């Protein structure tokens, strides 16, 4: 199902394209560039969210184990956990910035 949707999305510019004169050949390459840039950006931010989500989940589970084993140091564990989660979340924000740069840059502008 997902593959069918991706194929439909990727080949929609081809199916809906109009015939035009020879200078429009450059326009076709632009369509391909933006289509593949959008696809790549979607995959990149998805993988970044997946990785950071797994990292945050593992960090939180280990912090809960540490507090359960030694409740006396819960303050230090919580502080370290919050700093670690902020660092992990910054990776997702960096990925978002890179994706937005790729998505909105215009390589065809001279």
Say what angle helices 2-15 and 25-69 make with each other, to 10 degrees: 160
Q: Look at residue 34 in the predicted model and tell me its pLDDT.
A: 85
Predicted confidence (pLDDT) per residue in 6-65, tens digit = 776 776 676 666 665 555 556 667 888 888 888 999 999 999 999 999 999 999 999 999
> Is there a contact between 56 and 88 (Cβ–Cβ < 8 Å)?
yes
Considering Cα of 19, then 21, then 24, then 29, what sign does the dihedral take? positive
Say what angle helices 74-104 and 25-69 make with each other, to 10 degrees: 180
What global pTM score does this model have? 0.66
Predicted confidence (pLDDT) per residue in 66-85, tens digit = 999 999 999 999 999 999 99
């Amino acid at each position: 199902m997902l593959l069918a949707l991706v194929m439909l999305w990727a080949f929609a510019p081809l199916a809906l394209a109009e015939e035009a004169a020879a200078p429009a050949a450059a326009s076709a390459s632009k369509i391909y560039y933006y289509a593949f840039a959008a696809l790549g950006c979607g995959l990149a931010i998805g993988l970044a969210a997946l990785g950071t989500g797994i990292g945050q989940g593992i960090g939180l589970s280990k912090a809960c184990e540490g507090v359960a084993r030694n409740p006396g140091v819960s303050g230090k564990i919580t502080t370290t956990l919050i700093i670690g989660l902020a660092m992990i979340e910054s990776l997702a924000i960096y990925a978002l910035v890179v994706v937005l740069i790729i998505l909105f840059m215009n390589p065809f502008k001279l």
